C-alpha cells in the first residue's frame, strides 16, 4: 500500500518492527520509501525510545497512519500525534485480543494481557480521527463502541496484480517435490487462528476418491510440527508437502503451480473479522478456490469459487473433489477470480479507500479549512498515466488512450458555494467535458492554454462555481480527443466564514 501512495507522487515514510532481535539497522530507502526500524522489546525504556524517534519522524508528515493495536507502535504514535497536532488514522485488520487469547494457554498472565489488548482495541478507534477496517464485523464493532459511521472506511486487503497473475508455471517446483498429478494448495502462517488442520483432515477424505492428488502447505509457524504429526497420524504424510516459511517472492510461483487453492476456517469472532490475504492472492492468480463461508470470505469468494460450511471437513473435501473432477469449472472459476481481483481486491482499490479516510482526518483536524486540494494522480478510475517522466512527478499525463478520462472521489466538509479550479499544462487547446456526481457540469472545460506541457508550465484555471452539499462526491474529466496534463484540482469555498 505504501508503494501505491508513493507511485502517486506522495512522500511516504514507513516505520517497521524487525522480527530479528539485536541492534537496529539505520534508516534506508526501498523503492523510494524511507524505511525506519523500531524496537518491539517490552519495556518502558523501549516505549520511550520509540516515542522520541517517532516524535521526530512524524514532524514532516501531513498524516500519521498506524496498523494494529500493539502498544509499542500505537501509544508512541498517539502521543506524537497529540504533541505535533497531526491527524492520525488507525488501520484495523484483525481482532488482536481474540487472536492473543486463542493462541496462548490460559493463565493469569495471559488473561491480564488479553484484557490489556481488549482495552486498547476498544480505546484506539475513539482516540484517532479515522479508522479503516478490513471486514464488516470490525465496522460493526467500531459502531458499537461509539465511532461515527462517517469516520469508518472499509479497506479489505488487496493483492499485487503484477506479482500475482494467471501465468504458465515452471515445472521446477513440481520436479523439486516429485509431484505427479493435481496439486491442492493451502497458503498461510501456521499459528493460532489459521485452521490448517481442517485442510489436512479434508486431504485424507479427498485421497479416498482421488489417490493421485497432491497437497501442499506453504508457510511456517509454531504449529508446523504439530500439523506434520497430524498428517502422520492420519497416514497421509507422503501425500502432503510442508514447505515451511518461504520468501514472499516465492509465493506467486507456488500458487501458480497449484490446480486448486484452499482457505479453510471455523466460525468464531476471529474469523468473522478476517480479510484473508491468501484469498486475494488466490483471486489475483486466477485460481479455482474452495473456502469456508465466514465473515469477509463470502464477499471475496461468493460467485467465483466454492463456499463450504465453516469447520465442516466433509463439505470442504466435497468442494475440493468437485473441482478436481471438473476441468471446465476450474477454468471458469479461475477466470472469474481474476476479474474480481481486478475490480475490487487489489492494493490500488484499498489505497483509494484509505485515502478517503485521510481526507476526512485532515478535515477533522482543520475545521477552518478553506479549500479541498486533490492531486490529479489520485483518480480512482481513468486511463491517464501516473508515470514519473519528464513532464513532472505530480502530473497525470494523457496516455494516448481514447476517450481519455479521469474520475475522482472526494469529501466536502460543509455545505456551500465553491469555485472549481484546475491546475494543468497545455500548450494547445485540449477541452474536456466535466461531470459532477454524474451530471454534465461544463461541456467546454479545461479550455485554456499555458506555455508548455511540463509541470513548471502548469497554471491554475478557474472552471465554474457550484453549490455543493457536505458529503462524498464524484468529479470526472473526459475527452474524445486528449486531455491537458493535470496537476491539481481544487474546490475553494467562496464564503469560508460559514465553514
Note the pLDDT tens digit of each residue in 229-264: 999 999 999 999 999 999 989 999 999 999 999 999
Residue 8 confidence (pLDDT): 75
Last residue of a domain, which of 281, 308, 342?
342
pTM, two decimals, is 0.75
* Residues 100 and 185 placed together within one structural domain of the fold: no
Q: Does residue 6 lie within any of the structural domains?
A: yes
Residue 327 confidence (pLDDT): 95
Residues 155-193: tens digit of each pLDDT? 999 999 999 999 877 688 989 999 989 999 999 989 877
Q: Does residue 123 lie within any of the structural domains?
A: yes
Q: Does residue 135 lie within any of the structural domains?
A: yes
Residues 23-80: tens digit of each pLDDT? 667 778 887 788 888 888 878 888 888 888 888 878 778 899 999 888 888 998 999 8
Instruction: Say which range, 27-31, 208-212, 465-469, has the weakest mean pLDDT.
Output: 27-31
CATH number at residue 417: 2.60.120.260
The confidence band for 497, taking pLDDT boundaries of 50, 70 and 90, is very low
**Is residue 17 within 8 Å of residue 40, measured between CB atoms?**
yes
Q: Does residue 68 lie within any of the structural domains?
A: yes
* Residues 78 and 143 placed together within one structural domain of the fold: yes
Read off the pLDDT of each residue in 210-236 and give the average, rounded to a whole number: 95
Q: Does residue 12 lie within any of the structural domains?
A: yes
* Residues 310 and 374 placed together within one structural domain of the fold: no
Stretch (H or E) spanning 227: helix 224-233
Q: Does residue 273 lie within any of the structural domains?
A: yes
* Residues 380 and 326 placed together within one structural domain of the fold: no
Residue 5 confidence (pLDDT): 86
* Residues 251 and 140 placed together within one structural domain of the fold: no
Residue 367 confidence (pLDDT): 47
Q: Does residue 132 lie within any of the structural domains?
A: yes
Last residue of a domain, which of 100, 120, 154?
154
Domain range spanning residue 130? 2-154
**pLDDT at 414 > cutoff 80:** no
**pLDDT at 371 > cutoff 80:** no
* Residues 335 and 484 placed together within one structural domain of the fold: no
Say if residue 403 is preceded by a cis peptide, omega within 30 of 0: yes
* Residues 232 and 321 placed together within one structural domain of the fold: yes
Cα–Cα distance measured from residue 489 to residue 180, given in angstroms and rounded to the nearest whole number:
57
CATH number at residue 35: 3.40.50.2000
Cα–Cα distance measured from residue 493 to residue 466, given in angstroms and rounded to the nearest whole number:
10
* Residues 451 and 385 placed together within one structural domain of the fold: yes
Residues 321-342: tens digit of each pLDDT? 999 999 999 999 999 999 999 9
Q: Does residue 215 lie within any of the structural domains?
A: yes
Q: What is the share, in percent, of the chain residues with pLDDT greater than 70?
A: 96
Residues 140-159: tens digit of each pLDDT? 999 999 999 999 999 999 99
Read off the pLDDT of each residue in 467-482 and give the average, rounded to a whole number: 92
* Residues 322 and 185 placed together within one structural domain of the fold: yes
Q: How many domains does the chain have?
A: 3
Amino acid at each position: 500500500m505504501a508503494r501505491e501512495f508513493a507511485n502517486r507522487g506522495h512522500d511516504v515514510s514507513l516505520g517497521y518492527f524487525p522480527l530479528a532481535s539485536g541492534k537496529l539497522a539505520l534508516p534506508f530507502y526501498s523503492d523510494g520509501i524511507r524505511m525506519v526500524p523500531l524496537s518491539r522489546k517490552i519495556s518502558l525504556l523501549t516505549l520511550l525510545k520509540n516515542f522520541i524517534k517517532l516524535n521526530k519522524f512524524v514532524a514532516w508528515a501531513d498524516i500519521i497512519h498506524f496498523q494494529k493495536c500493539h502498544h509499542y507502535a500505537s501509544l508512541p504514535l498517539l502521543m506524537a500525534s497529540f504533541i505535533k497536532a497531526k491527524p492520525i488514522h488507525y488501520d484495523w485488520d484483525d481482532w488482536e485480543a481474540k487472536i492473543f487469547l486463542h493462541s496462548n494457554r490460559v493463565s493469569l498472565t495471559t488473561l491480564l494481557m488479553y484484557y490489556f489488548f481488549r482495552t486498547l482495541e476498544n480505546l484506539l478507534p475513539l482516540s484517532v480521527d479515522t479508522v479503516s477496517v478490513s471486514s464488516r464485523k470490525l465496522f460493526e464493532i467500531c459502531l458499537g463502541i461509539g465511532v461515527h459511521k462517517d469516520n469508518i472506511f472499509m479497506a479489505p486487503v488487496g493483492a499485487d496484480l503484477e506479482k500475482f497473475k494467471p501465468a504458465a508455471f515452471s515445472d521446477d517446483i513440481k520436479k523439486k517435490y516429485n509431484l505427479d498429478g493435481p496439486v491442492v494448495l493451502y497458503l498461510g502462517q501456521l499459528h493460532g487462528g489459521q485452521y490448517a488442520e481442517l485442510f489436512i483432515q479434508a486431504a485424507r477424505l479427498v485421497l479416498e476418491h482421488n489417490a493421485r492428488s497432491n497437497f501442499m502447505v506453504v508457510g511456517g509457524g509454531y504449529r508446523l510440527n504439530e500439523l506434520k504429526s497430524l498428517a502422520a497420524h492420519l497416514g497421509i504424510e507422503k501425500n502432503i508437502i510442508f514447505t515451511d516459511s518461504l520468501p514472499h517472492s516465492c509465493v506467486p510461483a507456488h500458487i501458480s503451480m497449484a490446480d486448486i487453492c484452499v482457505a479453510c476456517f471455523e466460525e468464531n469472532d476471529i474469523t468473522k473479522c478476517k480479510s484473508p490475504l491468501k484469498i486475494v492472492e488466490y483471486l489475483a492468480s486466477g485460481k479455482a478456490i474452495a473456502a469456508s463461508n465466514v465473515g469477509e470470505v463470502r464477499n471475496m469468494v461468493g460467485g467465483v469459487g466454492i463456499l463450504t460450511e465453516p469447520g465442516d471437513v466433509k463439505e470442504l473435501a466435497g468442494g475440493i473433489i468437485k473441482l478436481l473432477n471438473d476441468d471446465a469449472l476450474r477454468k471458469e472459476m479461475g477466470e472469474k477470480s481474476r476479474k474480481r481481483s481486478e475490480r475490487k481486491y487489489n492494493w490500488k482499490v484499498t489505497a483509494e479507500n484509505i485515502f478517503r479516510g485521510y481526507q476526512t482526518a485532515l478535515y477533522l483536524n482543520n475545521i477552518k479549512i478553506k479549500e479541498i486540494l486533490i492531486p490529479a494522480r489520485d483518480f480512482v478510475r481513468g486511463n491517464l498515466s501516473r508515470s514519473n517522466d519528464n513532464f513532472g512527478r505530480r502530473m497525470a499525463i494523457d496516455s494516448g488512450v481514447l476517450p481519455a478520462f479521469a474520475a475522482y472521489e472526494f469529501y466536502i466538509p460543509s455545505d456551500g458555494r465553491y469555485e472549481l479550479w484546475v491546475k494543468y499544462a497545455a500548450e494547445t487547446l485540449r477541452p474536456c467535458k466535466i461531470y459532477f456526481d454524474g451530471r454534465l457540469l461544463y461541456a467546454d472545460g479545461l479550455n485554456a492554454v499555458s506555455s508548455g506541457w511540463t509541470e513548471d508550465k502548469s497554471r491554475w484555471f478557474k472552471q465554474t462555481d457550484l453549490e455543493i452539499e457536505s458529503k462524498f462526491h464524484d468529479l470526472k474529466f473526459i475527452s474524445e480527443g486528449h486531455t491537458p496534463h493535470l496537476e491539481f484540482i481544487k474546490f475553494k469555498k467562496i464564503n469560508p466564514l460559514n465553514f
